[in-house]
Amino acid sequence: MLDQHWQIGLLLVIGVLHLLVYLQFRRLSREDSRDTTESSNGRPDDARETVVCPECGAANEPGFRYCRVCATELPKMGENGREKGHPFGMER
């Protein structure tokens, strides 16, 4: 009978640890979902860092060479946010 008590105690400790891990995971996933719903409009948060496609008007990240929606070549942006020229440095 004494041999079974430590096994029951061990099962209780493992169960409590599983419950704590589950609650922590659930709390973190809620925080992540709040972060994604705040910026769920599909555009980057800072408008200065977006490159707008001249063809379809979609917002693209600054390093993109082609539009993520229509695959049109994007204008290269300078530091002041204005068009710098052809994405590959060639004249059109």
Confidence band, pLDDT 50/70/90 cuts, at residue 84: low
| 34 and 75 together in one domain | no
| 47 and 92 together in one domain | yes
pLDDT value at residue 47 = 53
| 65 and 90 together in one domain | yes
| 48 and 34 together in one domain | no
| 3 and 31 together in one domain | yes
**Could you give the number of structural domains in the chain?**
2
| 13 and 31 together in one domain | yes
pTM of the model: 0.35
Chain segment 10-69, per-residue pLDDT in tens: 999 999 999 999 999 999 888 777 666 555 555 445 556 788 899 998 999 888 899 999
SS (H, E, C) the chain: CHHHHHHHHHHHHHHHHHHHHHHHHHHHHHHHHHHHHHCCCCCCCCHHHCEECCCCCCEECCCCCECCCCCCECCEECCCCCEEECCCCCCC
| 34 and 56 together in one domain | no
Structural domain of residue 26, as residue ranges? 1-40
pLDDT value at residue 24 = 93
